[in-house]
């Protein structure tokens, strides 16, 4: 069920609830398949009997309808995949985080100077467990071999990394690192570019893919290089990961976000003739 914490300006909404709010703003009506989500928003007091959106939702809805920057965070771990992120508008910033197995995400307002901190928290960026980190260590293989190692690890063979590596022809170091895998995460930032477009629709994209391997530390995936388009990677694609540190990852997350010069200017309101 959707809900609101008015004291802290927090909201719990599912994707269906967000879709209903967007449709009410754009079209004023909701299709039958979203009737349940529509009713839940009314029951929670976020819509009145005439489907008018509560004034408390204006900052969030206005930001979702006209975003300047969108950050998406995908985390894949033992409990499956979760989707979180942030939306930056002209006046407001909202972060949203999901919980494994839950339909709703928590939407919370954020200040610009706290955005990197919020994104880092979504991936549980923490100090390195080891005192010394060899950030120059590199492991190379293929995506097909990676999939085979992961499949065997998921089947309970993570206690025998050397045997797994030998069975699938993988580098022994790759199996050792993946035996400590906590999660894999990918962060993607999309915005309307001020310069030449780098993607469809004039959108600029930056992205980062990382393995969080506990005692084996953090590893950034350099190949296949992000952002990766659908169909661009197959089993023969080259894999290269490099050990990194929490400090470097903080800077890499910061670098994903565009600065003011990279953003296209918002459309100017047309004057009445």
pLDDT tens digits along 146-190 = 999 999 988 887 788 999 999 999 999 999 999 999 999 999 999
DSSP 8-state code for residue 215: G
Indicate if the pLDDT at residue 238 is higher than 50.
yes
**What's the pLDDT score for residue 265?**
67
pLDDT single digits (tens) 214-234: 989 999 999 999 999 888 999
Other Cβ atoms closer than 10 A to 90: 10
Give the pair of three-digit tokens for residue 204.
Answer: 């600029």
pLDDT: which is higher, 241 or 267: 241
Indicate if the pLDDT at residue 241 is higher than 60.
yes
Nearest residue to 84 via CA among 42, 45, 122, 58 = 122
What CA–CA distance (Å, rounded) separates 180 from 166? Answer: 18
Residues 6+ apart with CB under 8 A from 182: 77, 212, 213, 214
Indicate if the pLDDT at residue 267 is higher than 80.
no
Sign of CA dihedral 123, 129, 133, 136: negative
**What's the pLDDT score for residue 66?**
93
pLDDT: which is higher, 269 or 90: 90
Say if CB 139 and CB 222 are below 8 A apart. no
**pLDDT band with cut points at 50, 70 and 90 for residue 138:** very high
Indicate if the pLDDT at residue 115 is higher than 90.
yes
Task: Give the mean model confidence (pLDDT) for residues 73-100.
Answer: 95
What CA–CA distance (Å, rounded) separates 218 from 241? Answer: 10
Cis peptide before 224 (omega within 30 of 0): yes
Task: Give the mean model confidence (pLDDT) for residues 237-254.
Answer: 96
pLDDT: which is higher, 34 or 198: 34
3-state secondary structure 9-78: CEEEECHHHHHHHHHHHHCCCCCHHHHHHHHHHHHCCCECCCCCECHHHHHHHHHHHCCCEEEEEEEEEC
Nearest residue to 105 via CA among 78, 77, 68, 75 = 75
State what percent of residues in the chain have pLDDT above 70.
Answer: 91
State what percent of residues in the chain have pLDDT above 90.
Answer: 76
Indicate if the pLDDT at residue 133 is higher than 70.
no
**pLDDT band with cut points at 50, 70 and 90 for residue 273:** very low
Task: Give the mean model confidence (pLDDT) for residues 85-103.
Answer: 95
């Amino acid at each position: 069920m959707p809900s609101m914490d008015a004291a802290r300006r927090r909201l719990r909404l599912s994707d269906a609830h967000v879709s209903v709010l967007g449709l009410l703003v754009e079209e004023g009506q909701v299709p039958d398949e979203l009737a349940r989500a529509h009713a839940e928003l009314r029951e929670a007091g976020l819509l009145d009997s005439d489907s008018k959106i509560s004034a408390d939702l204006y900052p969030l809805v206005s930001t979702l309808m006209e975003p300047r920057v969108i950050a998406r965070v995908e985390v894949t771990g033992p409990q499956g995949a979760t989707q979180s992120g942030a939306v930056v508008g002209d006046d407001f910033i909202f972060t949203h985080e999901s919980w494994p197995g839950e339909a709703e995400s928590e939407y919370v307002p954020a200040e610009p100077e706290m955005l990197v901190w919020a994104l880092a928290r979504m991936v549980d960026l923490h100090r390195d467990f080891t005192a010394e980190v060899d950030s120059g260590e590199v492991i190379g293989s293929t995506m097909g071999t990676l999939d085979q190692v992961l499949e065997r690890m998921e089947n309970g063979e993570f206690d025998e990394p050397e045997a797994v590596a030998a069975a699938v022809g993988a580098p022994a170091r790759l199996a050792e690192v993946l035996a400590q895998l906590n999660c894999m995460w990918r962060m993607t930032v999309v915005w309307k570019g001020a310069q030449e477009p780098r993607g469809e629709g004039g959108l600029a994209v930056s992205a980062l893919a990382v393995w969080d391997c506990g005692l084996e530390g953090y590893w950034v995936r350099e190949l296949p290089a992000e952002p990766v388009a659908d169909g661009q990677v197959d089993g023969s694609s080259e894999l290269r990961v490099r050990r990194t540190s929490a400090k470097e990852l903080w800077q890499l997350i910061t670098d994903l976000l565009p600065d003011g010069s990279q953003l296209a200017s918002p459309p100017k309101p047309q004057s009445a003739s």
